[in-house]
A and B are shown apart, each in its own frame.
Chain A
């Protein structure tokens, strides 16, 4: 079984549903636990929408490359874009103890990713952002 898959989308939120469908297919084909579909979709939506909203300042069309691989029950997702340098791992963790009135709006996306995945890594290489997300199945 081929356990590598590459998906390329452009920096447009309308492409998120396409990505979601591809993930559903992947979970089925790789026979991953079915409840992973929803959490993996959430992780990918958070990570990729961050890139779409914040990485590009030129209003041009950009490609975002997403690769999935499965090896020894370890799922690795790598998201690569050529946007401005942005290290999501530096985002401050939200204070979950604050009452609603004091909770800041936003900042939950990266936090959700880090809670669902086991490892979140970022590197800047050749003017590209590379976000690696790893989950043990």
Chain B
């Protein structure tokens, strides 16, 4: 798993690459905490490079969404691979996240 962080307008765009699973979800969670602690409120997860997620990773997505709502921030997801989107659909996560096809659309909303 790899992250690239970029500030674009009001958003912090976190590009996630690789897998989020039982063995590494902790570092994903730590990365998110770092974002919130540094004062970021509006976050985009660009998931174009995310090719595997298990319930440990979904758990961190949900925690991030709860935190974002409590801060009146924005959490936008974009560019989910079809297999990942399917897991979001099965888990009922597609309705609790704002999911966009492209990063541009995520930035414009």
Contact = CB atoms under 8 A, between A and B. Distances in A.
B21 to A, nearest CB: 6
A122 interface: no
A17 to B, nearest CB: 7
Contacts of B59: 105-106, 108
B22 A105 contact: no
A46 B23 CA distance: 12
A100 B65 contact: yes
A41 B52 contact: yes
Interface-centre pick from A35, A96, A101, A116 (highest chain B CB count, 10 A)? A96
Tell me the interface secondary structure of chain A in the complex: helix
Contacts of A94: 91-92
B26 to A, nearest CB: 11
Interface residues of A, number: 27
Contacts of B97: 100
B22 A13 contact: yes
A45 B58 contact: no
Interface of A: 13-14, 16-17, 35, 38-39, 41-42, 45-46, 49, 94, 96-97, 99-101, 103, 105-106, 108-109, 111-112, 115-116
